[in-house]
Amino acid sequence: MDNLATIFSGDLQQLHPADIADRIQRMPLDQVADILRTLPAPLAGEALAELEDEIKAELLQEFSELELADLFQKLEHNDTTDLLGELDDSLQRTVLEQLPDDVSVPVQALLQYEEDTAGGIMSDRFIALAMDETIESSQQQLRRAAQFSTEDISYLYVVDHDQRLRGVASFRDLVFGSPHKKVADIMQESVTFLRVTDDQEEISRQFAHYHYLALPVLDQQDRVVGVVKASDVLEIAREEATEDMQLMVGLSGEERVLTPWRKSLPGRLPWLYVNLVTAFAAAAVIAFYESTIAHWTALAIFLPVVAGQGGNAGMQTLTVIIRDMALGEITRGDGRRALLKELFLGIANGLAIGLAVGLVAYLWKGSIALSLVACSAMILTHLVAGLAGVMIPFSLKFLKVDPAMASSIFITTITDLAGFLFFLGFATMAMRWLGVVP
Amino acid sequence: MDNLATIFSGDLQQLHPADIADRIQRMPLDQVADILRTLPAPLAGEALAELEDEIKAELLQEFSELELADLFQKLEHNDTTDLLGELDDSLQRTVLEQLPDDVSVPVQALLQYEEDTAGGIMSDRFIALAMDETIESSQQQLRRAAQFSTEDISYLYVVDHDQRLRGVASFRDLVFGSPHKKVADIMQESVTFLRVTDDQEEISRQFAHYHYLALPVLDQQDRVVGVVKASDVLEIAREEATEDMQLMVGLSGEERVLTPWRKSLPGRLPWLYVNLVTAFAAAAVIAFYESTIAHWTALAIFLPVVAGQGGNAGMQTLTVIIRDMALGEITRGDGRRALLKELFLGIANGLAIGLAVGLVAYLWKGSIALSLVACSAMILTHLVAGLAGVMIPFSLKFLKVDPAMASSIFITTITDLAGFLFFLGFATMAMRWLGVVP
């Protein structure tokens, strides 16, 4: 086994850490650990950092504290922080104690921030220039900064004595500027920045809106403590979209194909129970009209049509609203605008679908009464579907709940209830008051 | 009016073009045009480029060819290309003729690429260094490149006489390298790159996987023709996610809250009709068992419960698979792995929900037969929901159709059909063979 791992790892060393992670993450955990042990120090840690979260936590259990400290030593501090976050508190402390101070101190500083904030996302690798330095001495500082990659110097942040952000300098101006000028003379004073506590969804919106490649992150004292890059935000945007899609249908937001079924179950089953309660609410409406159905069984045939159409139409509206909310494309006043739009769409769709259903009902069962009942119920259900599709996410947002949260369950509940009420209610009225005999 | 627009535009000039777009895009089109006319040339064009696609096409009609040429003149070429793409062919040609050659030639070069490929996304602003130049003369080239922003020089691409990509140089090495060395001596030869024809979904995956900040784009002759930045890809990732979410529920993929209802209708109604056809397929199953329901009306009450649960469970599975596919996290062999996982989940969820439904059926209707029928139908429906949730996206992918396409309609069709067949089938068998008298 060890031998096999060694041979395999020889090939892996040529690869990007993200590709190594892809190759090994579907293997049994002990094999993954063996392979990582044979890889050179920075690469092994980098590959570990690229593994899916699902696997990280369990895989880290395979290593001793010493091995972990070894893996983390040459890693970027924010990668180390992410990995340490997967460990329980006592193990985290033990590993931190094994690390040299120049690693453990900055890592502990990063560990204090929530995972989904600017502080949790940022890298602490950036270049800060002192505003009262000369350009010449700043150039020397850059020359010495050999461990920085090209990406890290896209932006040079200018700070005062207390590390407070005062401006941003272009690399070109710094390199080609007259050597005896001060950095303060060439910097641009107005800088967009993030706060350590800024939420990642908001950060993703900002980056998409303004097309930033990177933004500095400030702490409460206005000191520059890190930088967030567009490449980090890209991953976040993909995760946020995934979470929204999952929340909508009643999932945890974090399930992946690789998630073992035992871990998926507690994420799925509670929402299935919620759905069950709402389904019984719809069933209660049918039960209320049980005697109507007993006299007119053909009604039962149309129940899934009414429910299915309303649910689908409602999901269309809901999806547009929820996604636009997530993208930050909805502003105040759009709620009313959206309601008006859905009013027209509900009538148009309702008429188009209602007439089709009415026609089928007539051709199939030869009953004009059934046809009229189905058609009118369909029109009203589409109207309710559209309006509820707007009101559910706006209400959830107003209640400060994620508007995507289980929203598909809420919308189908409303469309089912409305659909059955209209359809069976109209049928009952037709029988009772119009003397329709099925 | 003109006066008002002028006053308003004075405030706007302080803002980022993206914020100007946000402020004005909910106004009537003629007002938006008036405001843009009062803004200085580059800013007006930039704000125009930031408007939502929904509005761009119609707004452009408000301007004359000359005005358009004026708006486009100082814009980045890829922004001009995007805007020209909204015009019909003849108007596009007229505007191009009004533009000076140094704008129209590069813009026409960009216009040849499809919108959702690397060629359609890339900017043509980048710096290419000749590999056989000295570092000193390259430094002078950089010094002269005054119109380039800091972002554009994150990466310096090194090319040969035919503009073919040969390497990439770090800005720092170039600036601090010995002046008489050649660029070829300091460049790194292995460069990751995109092709002009690469699809945007794949590009988004690559950027997310490798955390690139920018990649060069090559044409068929290996010449560098542009650069794609992580900030551009971020917007694409958000659009792709939106498209997937919309496709799943039967939307066009491009609808926004701002889309007028008349434009939304043709995107939504066809899928509602598709849904209607599938709903009638489910109705046909119920019709087949109409006599069973006529004898045992309590069954009708449980129909929406069976359909609702199956649909919800199926959507959970489907969403995990579709999203993982979009993120590129699914590799070969994952189909079987996912089926196995859903088999277990289907049984577990099915048992949990089936027992609950059986219990409610017994307590509500006092019928052990109904309870057993509902419970067993529920278990099997959850199993089918899980397996179909895997097989639908994999089949669509195999057929080279977007796996998200209307997949929620497919899954609810299958779960409705299966649910009704099991539930009413078991009930019929219970009545016929077990002599159950409701």
A41-53 tens-digit pLDDT: 889 999 999 998 8
Partners of residue B229 in chain A, C-beta under 8 Å: 213, 230
Do A232 and A381 sit in the same domain of this protein? no
| Model confidence at B77: pLDDT above 70 | yes
Residues A286 and A357 in one domain: yes
Whole-structure pTM value = 0.87
Q: What's the pLDDT score for residue B432? A: 85
Residues A166 and A80 in one domain: no
Task: Classify residue B289: in a domain, yes or no.
Answer: yes
Over residues B5-26, the mean pLDDT reads: 81
Interface check for B242 against chain A (CB to CB < 8 A): the answer is yes
Residues of A in contact with B313 (CB under 8 A): 268, 272
Could you give the CA distance from residue B13 to residue A130 in angstroms, rounded to a whole number?
Answer: 32
Q: To the nearest whole percent, how much of chain B has pLDDT over 70? A: 95
Q: Within this chain, do residues A48 and A136 fall inside the same structural domain, yes or no?
A: no
Q: What are phi and psi of A409, to 5 degrees?
A: -70, -45
Element (DSSP H or E) covering residue B244: helix B230-248
Beta-carbon separation of A341 and B260 below 8 A: yes
| Distance between B52 CA and the closest CA of chain A, angstroms | 9
Q: How many domains does chain B have?
A: 3
Structural domain containing residue B70: 2-112
Instruction: Specify the range with the lowest mean pLDDT, choosing from A139-148, B58-67, B228-237.
Output: A139-148
> In a mutagenesis test of the B interface, which of A297, A302, A411 is the best target, namely the one with the most B β-carbons within 10 Å?
A297
Q: Nearest-CA distance from A304 to chain B in Å? A: 6
CATH number, domain of B192, equals 3.10.580.10
Q: Looking at A223-291, which runs of residues are DSSP E strands?
A: 224-229
Q: Chain A within 8 Å of B331 (Cβ-Cβ)?
A: yes
Write out residues 50-79 of B within 8 Å (CB-CB) of A.
52
Is residue B145 predicted with pLDDT exceeding 80? no
pLDDT digits (tens, 9 = 90+) for A394-431: 999 999 999 998 899 999 999 999 999 999 999 999 98
Q: Are B310 and B223 found together in one domain?
A: no
Kindly state whether residues B326 and B374 are assigned to the same domain: yes
Question: Could you tell me if A437 lies within 8 Å of chain B, comparing CB atoms?
Answer: no
Is residue B223 domain-resident? yes
Tell if the CB–CB gap between B154 and A213 is shorter than 8 Å: yes
- CA–CA gap between residue B324 and residue B27 (Å, rounded): 39
Residue A117 lies inside a defined structural domain of this protein: no
pLDDT at A228: 95
Q: Within the 93-152 window of chain A, which residues sit less than 8 Å (CB to CB) from chain B?
A: 142-143, 145, 148-151
Answer whether A27 touches B (CB < 8 Å): no
Mark whether B165 and B80 lie in a shared domain.
Answer: no
- Strand B156-159 relative to strand B127-130, pairing: parallel
- Quick check: is A13 in a domain? yes
pLDDT of res. A1: 43
Domain contains B276: yes
Q: What is the ipTM of this complex?
A: 0.86
- The CATH number covering residue A55 comes to 1.25.60.10
Res B213: pLDDT = 87
B339 touches chain A (CB under 8 A): no
Contacts of A375 in chain B (CB under 8 A): none
- Which residues between 264 and 293 in chain B have a beta carbon less than 8 angstroms from any beta carbon of chain A? 264-265, 268-269, 271-273, 275-276, 278-280, 282-283, 286-287, 290, 293
- With b for 16 or more beta-carbon neighbours within 10 A and e for fewer, the B241-264 pattern comes to bbbbbbbbbbbbbebbbbbebeeb
Chain A partners within 8 Å of B383 (Cβ): none
Q: Is residue A113 classed as helix, strand or coil in its secondary structure? A: coil
Q: How far apart are CA A311 and CA A417, in angstroms?
A: 10
Res. B258 pLDDT band, cuts 50 70 90 = confident
Give A177's pLDDT tier (boundaries 50, 70, 90): confident
Query: What's the pLDDT at B11?
Result: 80
B273 with B422, same domain: the answer is yes
pLDDT of residue A392: 95
How far away is chain A from the Cα of B90, in angstroms, using its nearest Cα? 32
Are the beta carbons of B209 and A18 separated by less than 8 Å? yes
Last residue of a domain, one of A248, A273, A305: A248
Name chain A contacts of B232, Cβ cutoff 8 Å. 211
H-type alpha helices, A182-260? 183-186, 200-210, 230-248
In a domain, A254, yes or no: no
Q: Which pLDDT score, from 0 to 100, does residue A216 have?
A: 94
* A253: confidence class by pLDDT, cuts 50, 70, 90: confident
Q: What are phi and psi of B129, to 5 degrees?
A: -105, 145
Please report the pLDDT score of residue A353 as a whole number: 96
* Backbone φ and ψ of A363, nearest 5°: -65, -35
Note whether B288 and A302 are within 8 A (CB).
no
Residues of chain A above pLDDT 90, percent:
65
A319–B409: do the CB atoms touch at under 8 Å? no
CATH number for the domain spanning B305: value is: 1.10.357.20
pLDDT digits (tens, 9 = 90+) for B307-359: 999 999 999 999 999 999 998 888 778 899 999 999 999 999 999 999 999 99
Q: Do B420 and A360 touch (CB under 8 A)?
A: no
pLDDT in tens, A289-298: 999 999 998 8
Residue A72's H or E segment, with its range, is helix A65-73
Pick the residue from chain B with its C-alpha nearest to A335.
Answer: B257
Give pLDDT, residue B1: 43
Cross-chain Cβ contact B294/A290 below 8 Å: no
pLDDT value, residue B79: 92
Of B197 and A148, more confident? B197
CB contact under 8 A, B231 and A245: no
More confident position, A138 or B154:
A138
pLDDT for A153: 62
Task: Determine whether the interchain pair B287/A301 forms a contact, defined as Cβ–Cβ distance below 8 Å.
Answer: yes
| Token pair listed for B162 | 């035919």
List A residues 359-398 in contact with B (Cβ-Cβ < 8 A): 360, 364
Q: Are residues A291 and A414 in the same domain?
A: yes
